[in-house]
Structure 1
Amino acid sequence: MISISPSKLRRMKAMYALQKLPTSIRSAVLADGELARVFGISLERPVHLGDVEVVSFEQLVGAFRKIVDGKKGVKLTNQSGTEVDAKLNLASDGAMIVELPQHRFRFNFASLLATKKVRRLAAFDEFASRFSLPAGGQAQARARLSRSKLDEKAFVETVDLFSASPELFAEELRVKAEAREDITREDFFPEHCGYWDALIPAPREAGNLSEYVAAELTDEWRRRLGVSPGRAIQSLIGTCASVRLTPVGLLSLADPDDVAVAITDNIPGSSPYALVGMFEVCASLSASQGRFADLGERLLVELVGDMNRLENSCRVYAAAFVVTTAYLAQHEILRERPAYWRKIAAAAHASAIFMAFAKMELRYDQIVPWAMRLSGNEFVVSVFLGFFEQPLWRPEWINPRYLVADIVGRTLNAVHTVRDHVATEWKPHTEKARAAISERGMEFAMFFPSLLEGERKAAYMDMPAESGIGEKFHQFCEEPSMERFHPLTDVLMHFNIPRRGHEAIKSLLEGLQGGSLTSDKRPVINGLSTLSQIAARDHDTSLAESIANAVIELSADEANSSHPSEAAWRIIECAGAQPTKQALRAWLAEKLERLAFAIPAPPSISELPELILMMRAFDPALGILLARAGAAARLARS
């Protein structure tokens, strides 16, 4: 009998398990070397230079260290022991350049390999001044580099930290864009999950958007402003997709010269929401600092001097926001974070993508359709599922026309805060923008919640009794119908619904159940959408139940069932009315199962199985409960 020692048997079991893993996963598992150390596994980490040359990682790092320390004539040998025809040079920015006859490779942050600790730390401080790191990451990395001897593991961990920086990602994407390389969906997102924590801090204790902005995001602004106002504005201005996220108060305490220079430097290529955030800062500071009046006028020209350019900018931003929102909602780690954080992260990342493509000549009319084909359903459903936390902002408002109205509305509001002589100087620009919005028929959209203003309010206005909206509401209460409700759909979310309004809504929904929508369906779709949003806003489970029942009954009528995704969307919206996430999941699963059984046979039900399958990627716990609904939808389609 063959005798195998316990340690050798453990090693054999580990090797067998590793061989069963896909190559990419195996590499990730072994990357930090800890598993290899525990089980005594000898690792070779080959580095491919071009199509033919392969050198070991250890040799490459050793060669880099020698060059960083000032040695000349350092050579590389491949795995066969043959000298590689390559020139190695340390660039002025600390990267190592490896040049082969047919290829050129760049290895960032190589100067961190310096043998002398003082040179290592100087290189680290230089990189830290150029690249954003998570709040705790900088101190940890500096502590690693402060050891008397830097090992390969500490070097790799530090390089990984810097490789996740938003600045490096944006620069690499810009280079790809300008080189006209084929850019895939994966290129829009970083490989390192740590990128998102470097972009904006992960929530620690904040339970909602207000708490996060007031404490944790403000602390991050304060931390970065302490390092450099220029770096702070460069790295965080993309979060200002809502006026209350613009840190006017903090920037008013910073050195005005530094703030003015930082804003001036960041105007070129900035996204429309970054520009309007900087304009709000200038408007606030213009009273005490005259230079900000001139700088504000420059920003106005950049923002609204050409409304067609603004709308095209909003198209690029909207497309980036759509694909990013969908990506974050399905990411196995980031989907667990609150919806408000994911929206801020999506806004900041969309600004980074915008900057990468700022100098490109694009087919603007094709950008948003491309994004909606790629991620439209995921975007819509992720926003609707987020109604549990943030029910005030609707996914259709990502349309560039709404974004333009939002930005112009914020611009006009900022102008109202400045002194008369400044407002007079800015008036030609603001009046031109106001007229352009009026020509587009989008004045009403200037009063909608901004991109990041989806959170419930503590209180809403009472319904006015006078003419206008109050009169239309009175007419609806007197004779409930979708035709009378339709004019209220754009404004009703701003008001409390009085008791007689609830009675009229109940009567309206009862009238819809069992009816047939053979005429224009759009008023009904818009009306149910508004009612679903109100149910989520007010945590009105009774209204949500009535809407879901009406939607399911309407879908059972073959004349009304041509768009099952619309029916599912209304149910998903209503799910936000539930008091807890657990109750939401159970309610949503039961209603979607009923919908799957109610919708007539193909082709009406064709979209529902895919939609249910997609939702499982957003929330694994919900996915388990949706198994029956998914099976029912597939059975009905077959």
Structure 2
Amino acid sequence: MVQSDVMSDGQIPKKFAIPTHRPATLGPNIKLPQDQMLAAFRDVLAGNRPKPLRDNDGKTIKATVTIESNGTAKIKVDSAIFAFTYAGLLSSDPKQRLEYLEIYLREHTLAGIHANALRAKVAQAAFSDEDFLSVVETLLTAQESFVQTVKGAVAARELTNSALLPNDERHWENLVAPSGDSRTLEAFLNAECEAERARLLAADPIRAFRAVSLSFCAPALLPIDKFKALPKLSLLEILRIAASLPDHFAQVGAFEICASAFEQDAEFEAAGLKLLDRLLEMETLRIRCLSYAGAFVMTSARLAQHSALSQKPAFWRRVTTSAHSSLILRACGFGNADDLYEWAMEHFGKAFLFSVLLEMDRESRWKADWLTGRHLVADAFGRVEAAINKIPEETRPKAWLERLAKGREWITENGVELFAVLPAIGESAPRKMPSDDELYVFRPAYDRLVAEPNATNLLRAAAGFYTVGVTEKALQACHLIVGRLRKDGTRWDDDDTQYVLQVLAFVAIQTKNAGLAESVTDFCVEKVRELPVDGSTLDIVCRLVECAGANSDRDQAMEELARRLESLAFLAPPQALNDLHDSLRHLQLLDSRLSSSLGKAVAAARLGRKAA
């Protein structure tokens, strides 16, 4: 029987799937000093007979120690064989250590900076046990190690949050690329991301696809030309592999590559059909998307609260969150999607929601509300349809169009046609105000809003705001609408008031119009007294946090937000204070400036809660 055993060292966390503990263990009954075991591995690698292994009681263990050609050490005790990966790194010869390391690096996707650091370390003349353990620690931050660890935990029914959401920064840097000097997603794609992708593609294009496809959450993140430049057989193999992956973004991206390649070579039709058959099984796609959404909620909250990663650019965290969410699907599959999503929202929902809203000053076009199964299905369908529409109409494969038509039936039945054109997760950066000529099919709605500024026409224009942006004339109409809401004494629970406020807040963020944002927040604070007995302050808090992003002076914005939240704590009815107190505590964890400035608001909510 071959078993994989685990050791750990007090200096290194238990997360590793290799021996790092004193004492080492061989199954449930044998314990021995770690350094003794590693010394035995060193002896075998040097061609020497190892000293007999002794357990912690000094009793000799009847064991045979061997090293496989891939550097894996095996200890045979009776009929049991215990395997220890990476033991080849204990060789006394730096050249041999490097050779083993290259074998391991071909199986572990690490960012270039981390891979090179390992090469430098194993090339040193002196290489201690601690050096060995530190190298293994880095190897275990690779994507492949994460999948293996999580699969093992799932099989043993021992999966924990810490296993799903690693604390080690290197894990997150290995997903897409480390964050460098880039301050926009576009710059990041052209610099840090481009460097990592080029390195991976040069080494092994097929394996590179598995790693790179984790970040295919938006068309702009897809290096179509690089994959099209590969030999035809390699690209066909990549598309074959993509059809079996559980994460839907990898398959969407693969189809976009395939559709582009088809324009030059009709032999890609069969590969595209296989992808569509897998991808456009719409109810299964909904389940896959919902599983991804649940993973995204957890991951986004984790990165927003991480002491170091929370300081990275918002676009980097957004793309890295998406990549990790797809990796979770590769490790866990997509069973029990509805339960997972519900559980994730219950435990991480507020942290996720507030983290997205706090980033709206930098990543304003994508809304947290759009992280649902239905939205993500429509997004995937929209990308597939756009890829097919780029092919000249007369040459579009009939079978592809048939699959597309069937998928469209689901889209229509579920009323999510608009969702197919909304900005994707990786398309959240702000853009310039559109001209009237750039409004396309949405122009009539804008014209009605400008001619008659009222709530009804505002909601009709909202789809255009989300898709193409806000015009100057539409912005002026929004000022008139919020003024009328206050003048008419509109109540919080009247008709579509809350949705109207969501749209107005979105407009304020897109246009960076502090005046409109202030009007919206003032209205919301005034209406907190009108909350019903079972009412929640969450929507009001969300509008306040969102509107803070309209102020380009971030420190000032956070000061003003803290003051408004403090007012909310004093004005809210007692029955709403439990929920408000919980929201305030979440916000303190997400922004260091709010950590101290919300002290009075938290105290007021706590006192009011006790009084109730």
Aligned residue among 316, 325, 339 for 1:350: 325
Relative to structure 1, the CA distance from residue 259 to residue 465 in structure 2 (aligned partners, 3 Å threshold; closer, same or farther) is closer
The correspondence of residues 554-565 of structure 1 with structure 2, limited to 5 A, is 554-559=527-532, 562-565=535-538
The residue that corresponds to 1:16 in the other structure is none
Shift of 1:79: 3.5
CA 1:459 to 1:470, structure 2 compared with 1: closer, same or farther past 3 Å? closer
Q: What's the CA shift string for 1:229-268, capped at 9, x where partnerless?
A: 1121011101000001010122223333222223323431
Q: C-alpha deviations, 1:196-236, integer Å up to 9, x for none?
A: 11112222111111211222212221111111111210111
Equivalent residue for 1:401? Answer: 374
Q: Work out whether residues 461 and 494 of structure 1, in 8 Å CA contact, stay in contact via their aligned partners in 2.
A: no
Cα offset, 1:497, TM superposition:
4.2
Out of 418, 423, 429, the position equivalent to 1:455 is 429
Match of 1:547 among 492, 495, 520: 520
Determine the structure 1 residue equivalent to 2:115. 138
2:458 partner amino acid: F
For residues 437 and 266 of structure 1, what CA distance do their matches in structure 2 show?
A: 24
Mark the CA change 1:110 to 1:507 in structure 2 (over 3 Å): closer, same or farther. Answer: same
1:67 and 2:44 equivalent? yes
Change (3 A) 1:212 1:637: same
Displacement of 1:437 after TM fit? 1.0
1:331 to 287, 306, 310: 306
Q: In 2 relative to 1, CA 48–540 (structure 1 residues): closer, same or farther, beyond 3 Å?
A: farther
The equivalent of 1:289 in structure 2 is 265
> What's the counterpart of residue 8 of structure 1?
none
**Are the equivalent residues in 1 in contact too, given 2:363–2:428 (CA < 8 A)?**
yes
Cα deviations by residue, 1:32-80 (Å, 9 ceiling, x for unpaired): xxxxxxxxxxxx9544556665433322211222234455675432333
Measure the CA separation in 1 of the matches of 2:609 and 2:79.
55
Q: Specify the SS of the correspondent of 2:359.
A: helix
Matched, 1:107 2:71: no
Residue 277 of structure 2 is matched in structure 1 by: 301
Equivalent residues in 2 for 1:195-214 (5 A)?
195-214=171-190
Query: Which of the numbers 222, 226, 234 marks the counterpart of 1:258?
Result: 234
Equivalent residue, structure 1, for 2:316: 341
Q: Which residue of 1 aligns with 2:605?
A: 633
Q: Is the 8 A contact 1:161 1:194 kept in 2?
A: yes
Unaligned runs of 5+ residues in structure 1 are: 1-23, 30-43
Per-residue deviation, residues 168-215 of structure 1 (Å, max 9, x unmatched) = 1112212333x2513222221235321111112222111111211222
Distance 1:285 1:609 in 2: 54
Matched-pair contact (CA < 8 Å) for 2:434–2:470: no
Q: Are 2:360 and 1:387 equivalent residues in the alignment?
A: yes
2:169 maps to 193
CA distance in 2, matches of 1:592, 1:568: 7
Distance 1:416 1:476, change over 3 A: closer
Aligned match for 1:369, one of 324, 342, 345: 342
User: 2: distance between equivalents of 1:383 and 1:611?
Assistant: 14
Query: What is the identity percentage for the equivalent residue pairs of Structure 1 and Structure 2?
Result: 25
Higher mean C-alpha displacement, 256-265 vs 374-383: 256-265
Paired residue for 1:119?
A: 96
Q: Match of 1:630, as an amino acid?
A: V
In the alignment, which of 394, 405, 414 is matched to residue 431 of structure 1?
405
* Aligned-pair CA distance for 1:82: 2.8
- The letter for the 2-side match of 1:318 is A
Change (3 A) 1:497 1:344: closer
Flag the 1:531–1:89 CA change in 2: closer, same or farther, 3 A: farther
Could you say if the C-alpha distance between residues 465 and 65 of structure 1 is closer, same or farther in structure 2, counting changes exceeding 3 Å? Answer: closer
Cα separation, 2, equivalents of 1:159 and 1:80: 29
Does 375-384 or 421-430 show the bigger shift?
Answer: 421-430
Query: What residue in structure 1 maps to residue 253 of structure 2?
Result: 277
Give distance in 1, aligned partners of 2:363 and 2:495: 25
**Contact between 1:460 and 1:494, CA under 8 Å: does it hold in 2?**
no
AA aligned opposite 2:583: L
Question: In structure 2, how many angstroms separate the alpha carbons of the residues matched to 1:48 and 1:197?
Answer: 32
CA contact (8 A) 1:510 1:550 kept: no
Q: Look up the match of 2:285.
A: 310
CA distance in 2, matches of 1:251, 1:27: 43
What amino acid is the match of 2:175? L
Contact in 2 for aligned 1:516/1:557 (Cα 8 Å) = no
Write the mapping of 1:165-244 to structure 2, written as runs, cut at 5 A: 165-177=142-154, 179=155, 181-244=157-220
Partner amino acid for 2:401? K
Matching residue of 2:18 = none
Aligned ranges 1:38-77 → 2 under 5 Å: 45-47=22-24, 53-71=30-48, 75-77=52-54
* Structure 1 residue aligned with 2:576: 604
**How far apart in 1 are the matches of 2:588 and 2:500?**
28
- The amino acid that maps onto 1:240 is F
Instruction: Tell me how far apart the structure 2 counterparts of residues 91 and 628 of structure 1 sit (CA, whole Å).
Output: 64
Deviation per CA, 1:350-402: give whole Å up to 9, x if none. Answer: 111111223x7x23332211221121111111111110111111111111001
Q: Within 2, Cα distance between the matches of 1:142 and 1:162?
A: 12
TM-score norm. by structure 2 comes to: 0.90
- What SS is found at the alignment partner of 1:491? helix
Q: CA RMSD in A?
A: 2.9
Q: Distance in 1 between matches of 2:74 and 2:495?
A: 60
1:153 deviates by: 3.0
For residues 550-588 of structure 1, give each alpha carbon's deviation from its aligned partner in whole angstroms, at most 9, with x where no partner exists. Answer: 110011334499220110001111111111332232222
User: 1:161 maps to which residue?
Assistant: 138
Is contact 1:282-1:296 (8 Å) kept?
A: yes
Q: Report the CA distance between 1:413 and its aligned residue.
A: 0.5
**Rounded Cα–Cα distance in structure 1 between residues aligned with 2:540 and 2:568:** 8
The residue type equivalent to 2:395 in the other structure is: H
Change (3 A) 1:287 1:477: closer
The whole-number CA distance in structure 1 between the counterparts of 2:81 and 2:551 is: 57
Alpha-carbon distance in 1 for matches of 2:472, 2:285:
43
Separation in 2, partners of 1:87, 1:528: 72
Q: Does 1:572 align with 2:545?
A: yes
What amino acid is the match of 1:615? L
Deviation of 1:412 after TM superposition, in Å, equals 0.6
Residues 354 and 485 (structure 1 numbering): CA distance in 2 closer, same or farther, change over 3 Å? same
Give the conservation status (yes or no) of the 8 Å contact 1:165–1:195: yes
Does the CA contact (< 8 Å) of 2:138 and 2:170 recur in 1? yes
Q: CA deviation at 1:479?
A: 4.9
Q: Offset at 1:463?
A: 7.8
Q: Is the 8 A contact 2:491 2:497 kept in 1?
A: no
Structure 2: stretches of 5+ with no match in the other structure: 1-7, 14-20
Q: Structure 2 CA distance, aligned partners of 1:514 and 1:105?
A: 77
Deviation at 1:28, TM superposition (A): 5.8
Question: How far apart, CA to CA, are the structure 1 residues paired with 2:284 and 2:453?
Answer: 43
Matched, 1:150 2:127: yes
Q: Are 2:391 and 1:418 aligned?
A: yes
Find the residue that maps to 1:199 and give its secondary structure.
coil
User: Of 88, 94, 115, which aligns to 2:71?
Assistant: 94
Cα gap change, 1:503 to 1:267, in 2 (>3 Å): closer
Once residues 452 and 471 of structure 2 are traced to their aligned partners in structure 1, the CA distance between those partners, rounded to angstroms, is: 16
Check conservation: 2:351, 2:586, Cα contact below 8 A: yes
**TM-score relative to the length of structure 1:** 0.86
Residue 446 (1) aligns with residue 423 (2) = no
Post-superposition offset of 1:321: 1.2
Letter in 1 for 2:316: W
